[in-house]
Structure 1
């Protein structure tokens, strides 16, 4: 288990101030001495007041002063056991039933490999009467399965802020409602929530625990998103899914069409030319969108990059091929051109003074031949 991720989860659960105070106590108590991991947990537990809690649940704001945290017990399963869980959420009109199982890329682990029970901070996000987000960070799932009262007629999401190291599997109806909330201009979901939702849905689809259509519907709801980090996560997730179906032409064509519908509007909005005034996010988003359109065989984008490479071949002027689009342009030249284009890219690999051009040319020649 990744240590920074575990500490981030613990910090979110006990609260940042208590976490830092606990680290300070740990350092003071063990100054110039040797320590073991449990000493850190004891320091953080001391900062929370030490009383023990089990499953204290509230749909309102947390009164953390009334709570204590059994930190060593909470952390043992995360640092001493292999893997991490998937949390499956089913609903009734009055609450949710939550179950934990060990998650594998191939799905839920078999019974013999599914014995670990984690202490899972559920971090349930709900909304108050005014529609403002409220996060309950007191609720722990410590058994295989447990019921929690909750108004399921309203928006809710587990693992608020995506601090917990686990996947969350919702029923398709809930995922549709989450997608509707994402569409709102005043959505209660943070950037971290959106990133976590995309990663969870695509990983669960890849593991055959969720229908791919449900995951794609969630991504479709994010097409107005402006944050590059979200698009980067979507891009990588779609690449992973596409690689699974690379031998199924009919499925690949549907995925390509979906990718074109997502990324081409971004290309139209941002264009092909880079400016010194562009933010890093805009620069990266433009490159990602154009590159995805090339992979998805968008005719307009392919033709534009071919036109730019043709200009280079005729004049030797590469000013119309921005450094950020070298790889995408060389790929188009090799994939859609003939022997002359291939030799031109090969020549770039052999003679270009810039490492980025060499790497792009080498990669694209290998990709297509």
Structure 2
């Protein structure tokens, strides 16, 4: 292990890394050895394909106070066919001058017109531009936004003085580099970038590459120039400016891992920095390609976004503070895990997405599904005590909840407009993509899979791919049936349903009768012909080793040695639901305690979902959930308590709800009593996480002791603002806020105003919206648009109110549309509405959502249509769920 080097750099000086780092060398796929050609017709594009860039030379001068910037760009490009027009992307940019300089000869003046709808700039010459090499020089200006897209500003309290300060950041995925520079802003137009910025001398500027030089300028300014990037897509370019400090550690592979944070963050960056340095060499080894840049920074963005937590800019990840800095006063146990796993996700992107990039947004899952899968892999490797593999089941459930609706889409989806790009980042892209990868790796074997991945990385470095390129690489390494299975699961939308129709023991063997179907949350969509998937099954009989079987037909008979309980989807890595016949499920329930934890976890989640959807009585899922004792594995117990809390939310006020509350308290209060209210310094993180969930669950069902304790702790804030500090701060606040009186609510608002940091402030602000008291909920909504909460906190208040009062929140947003629109960028507004109504069960909301969807362009309406479909599903299923849940409770032991 190489010795670590740590330093804190102030805003006035950043140590420039030697950009002639031995790791920074481009593969044979780099432009120097490639013959440039027009973008193939097989790759979608908004541009006319008559040119492509090789290099950008950009200088920007931001005015953070005025929220404007000016820029100059010199773009080296190749023109392939004669035309009087070059078309580039540009959104919100005002071009003051433009000219085209051929390799030899005088510059050609250009006239510029902008098309707002297509987000393009047309550079028109007086005569046809002949094929050849050119440099396009453009002077332009743009605006700095206050929502995270393009170049944007975030205001936050200085950690030393409490004074409001401003930082600048960029967010370019998917179509927003065009807000920063005229560009060929599509993933297949890869180029190298030189970036310089004229900035205040006392501020730190950060980009993808290290600083190559700094020049002092008059008026207290400096010009910061960064080293040339590798060949990359425009959406990966990054720039940040602010009063920052940089904490570094040299990883074992020689790469400098840095955390760039607001000055005063101090040792809050330690955990993230150490984790970053830890995972980098692991990825080097796994991919068989060394990280090719000399440094990897993770830049802290204060505040939060409604729609994303981090971005994988090459060499300069950006992550919102709540999931990057570990603050002992506010970071929950889940928050600590998120710091590790989210950073691992973005680091995995440095290879899968940045080094090798999808050709078009249709294959965005190649970025996100793989990064999620790799993040789980490395997180579980370095943190085995977290039982992290169980989280894959939660991801599978999140994907299936969306994939089982009629509004689902394939993993490989057609994306054509900017709005569709924004909406492509959903649970199907991330979690279904991840689940398919995990299933395929398990099917072909971990070693074969890794060799295929290494071949893929070497072959396509600095280039673009489609999904089939990966399947070819895995099959080239020896993987069988990969393309067959992958094509079906990535191109056919929906959730496979495997029906175990009968299991017979004959002659010492188990004979299984299996049939394929499709799982749907819509009772009206269960008839008709269904797709046939090639389903990789892993089946365990009794205590025998699991056996593999590929089911390729609608029905199948499988004979396996031994007799005993039959578990299909052993290990829970198959992306399908399993509906057992009654006898088979009864055997699994009776032997539940002997199953592996991952199978217990998966069986409970799967059968609850089947019961909630009406494929079996609610009693089937409830019996399995009730089989999880309070003494179970901490991760399993945490999930079980969370599922009980969700079931409690289904019931309306009345005897059944009281019975369920009593059952939950009897089962889980003793476990909380054993753990105690206070975390112990030496306890495993999973125990702290379980305690937090038990407090939330018991607080939700009204357990008197927990509710009283939450209110008592809230009251201590009046005299000691630090009294709640610790990993359970958010937990106690949520319980207290739900049960808040008017004076409690006022105290929460006062604490928000006094909070020293933005993360803590947002914790209080979001708590304001949780009040069960309807008058306080209305007050929280009015407060959200009062101008007092910052623009990133205000929408969180509204979505908090929507947890208990979705209809009220929806009506408020519609009535105050102009004020709310100022808080959320247009592309995100439909997703915001979908989130607001996510728990509604009001029939009247059907008409309201339908009316709102009709006001949106077709490519923007998708999230609202999905929300409407989910609402109809809840309306169809909720009466049966309540009736069957109440019936089961009548028979449950007391």
| Structure 2 length-normalised TM | 0.35
Conserved 8 A contact 1:88-1:98:
yes
Please say if 1:82 is aligned against 2:493: yes
Residue aligning to 1:196: 602
Please say if 1:125 is aligned against 2:540: yes
- Offset of 1:164 from its aligned partner? 0.8
Structure 2 unaligned runs (5+)? 1-410, 412-431, 506-510, 777-894
Residue aligning to 1:99: 515
Per-residue Cα deviation, 1:105-141 (whole angstroms, up to 9, x for no partner): 23584334x43110001110224xxx4x41112x122
User: Following the alignment from structure 2 to structure 1, what is the Cα–Cα distance between the partners of residues 734 and 461?
Assistant: 58
- Offset of 1:291 from its aligned partner? 1.1
Deviates more, 1:173-182 or 1:325-334: 325-334
Matching residue within 158, 161, 170 for 2:571: 161
- Offset of 1:154 from its aligned partner? 0.6
Q: What secondary structure does 2:571 align onto? A: helix
Per-residue Cα deviation, 1:17-73 (whole angstroms, up to 9, x for no partner): 222233345556667887543343334334438xxxxxxxxxxxxxxxxxxx33322
Conserved 8 A contact 2:520-2:526:
no
Aligned counterparts, 1:1-369, within 5 A: 1=411, 2-26=432-456, 36-48=466-478, 69-94=480-505, 95-106=511-522, 109-112=525-528, 114-127=529-542, 131=543, 133-137=544-548, 139-150=549-560, 153-183=563-593, 187-189=594-596, 191-243=597-649, 245-247=650-652, 249-310=654-715, 316-317=719-720, 321=724, 323-330=726-733, 333=736, 338-353=741-756, 354-355=760-761, 357-359=763-765, 361-365=767-771, 369=776
User: Following the alignment from structure 1 to structure 2, what is the Cα–Cα distance between the partners of residues 30 and 328?
Assistant: 46
User: Following the alignment from structure 1 to structure 2, what is the Cα–Cα distance between the partners of residues 153 and 210?
Assistant: 25
User: Following the alignment from structure 1 to structure 2, what is the Cα–Cα distance between the partners of residues 350 and 173?
Assistant: 59
Conserved 8 A contact 2:696-2:734:
no
User: Following the alignment from structure 1 to structure 2, what is the Cα–Cα distance between the partners of residues 344 and 19?
Assistant: 55
Conserved 8 A contact 1:220-1:262:
no
Larger Cα-atom Rg: 2
User: Following the alignment from structure 2 to structure 1, what is the Cα–Cα distance between the partners of residues 711 and 662?
Assistant: 21
User: Following the alignment from structure 2 to structure 1, what is the Cα–Cα distance between the partners of residues 442 and 604?
Assistant: 21
Q: What secondary structure does 1:140 align onto? A: strand
Conserved 8 A contact 1:349-1:361:
no
Structure 1 unaligned runs (5+)? 50-68
Conserved 8 A contact 2:648-2:660:
yes
Q: Given the superposition, is the C-alpha separation of residues 27 and 293 from structure 1 closer, same or farther in structure 2, using an over 3 Å criterion?
A: closer
Q: Given the superposition, is the C-alpha separation of residues 148 and 299 from structure 1 closer, same or farther in structure 2, using an over 3 Å criterion?
A: same
User: Following the alignment from structure 1 to structure 2, what is the Cα–Cα distance between the partners of residues 101 and 246?
Assistant: 30
Q: What secondary structure does 1:169 align onto? A: strand
Conserved 8 A contact 1:327-1:360:
no
Count of residue pairs the alignment pairs up: 337
Conserved 8 A contact 1:102-1:108:
no
Conserved 8 A contact 1:100-1:144:
yes
Conserved 8 A contact 1:77-1:116:
no
User: Following the alignment from structure 1 to structure 2, what is the Cα–Cα distance between the partners of residues 239 and 71?
Assistant: 40
Q: Given the superposition, is the C-alpha separation of residues 240 and 349 from structure 1 closer, same or farther in structure 2, using an over 3 Å criterion?
A: same
- Offset of 1:188 from its aligned partner? 4.0
CA RMSD across the alignment: 3.1
Residue aligning to 1:53: none
User: Following the alignment from structure 1 to structure 2, what is the Cα–Cα distance between the partners of residues 334 and 362?
Assistant: 7
User: Following the alignment from structure 1 to structure 2, what is the Cα–Cα distance between the partners of residues 277 and 322?
Assistant: 18
User: Following the alignment from structure 2 to structure 1, what is the Cα–Cα distance between the partners of residues 739 and 437?
Assistant: 49
Residue aligning to 2:869: none
User: Following the alignment from structure 1 to structure 2, what is the Cα–Cα distance between the partners of residues 28 and 318?
Assistant: 54
Conserved 8 A contact 1:349-1:362:
no
User: Following the alignment from structure 1 to structure 2, what is the Cα–Cα distance between the partners of residues 322 and 32?
Assistant: 46
User: Following the alignment from structure 2 to structure 1, what is the Cα–Cα distance between the partners of residues 677 and 501?
Assistant: 46
Q: What secondary structure does 1:115 align onto? A: coil
Conserved 8 A contact 1:26-1:40:
yes
Structure whose residues are more often helix by fraction? 1
- Offset of 1:254 from its aligned partner? 3.3
Q: Given the superposition, is the C-alpha separation of residues 278 and 359 from structure 1 closer, same or farther in structure 2, using an over 3 Å criterion?
A: farther
User: Following the alignment from structure 1 to structure 2, what is the Cα–Cα distance between the partners of residues 26 and 308?
Assistant: 55
Q: Given the superposition, is the C-alpha separation of residues 44 and 251 from structure 1 closer, same or farther in structure 2, using an over 3 Å criterion?
A: same
User: Following the alignment from structure 1 to structure 2, what is the Cα–Cα distance between the partners of residues 269 and 365?
Assistant: 29
| Structure 1 length-normalised TM | 0.79
Q: Given the superposition, is the C-alpha separation of residues 312 and 156 from structure 1 closer, same or farther in structure 2, using an over 3 Å criterion?
A: same
Q: Given the superposition, is the C-alpha separation of residues 330 and 34 from structure 1 closer, same or farther in structure 2, using an over 3 Å criterion?
A: closer
Q: What secondary structure does 1:277 align onto? A: coil
Q: Given the superposition, is the C-alpha separation of residues 37 and 334 from structure 1 closer, same or farther in structure 2, using an over 3 Å criterion?
A: closer
Q: Given the superposition, is the C-alpha separation of residues 267 and 30 from structure 1 closer, same or farther in structure 2, using an over 3 Å criterion?
A: closer
Residue aligning to 2:173: none
Conserved 8 A contact 1:124-1:136:
yes
Conserved 8 A contact 1:123-1:135:
yes
Q: Given the superposition, is the C-alpha separation of residues 322 and 298 from structure 1 closer, same or farther in structure 2, using an over 3 Å criterion?
A: farther
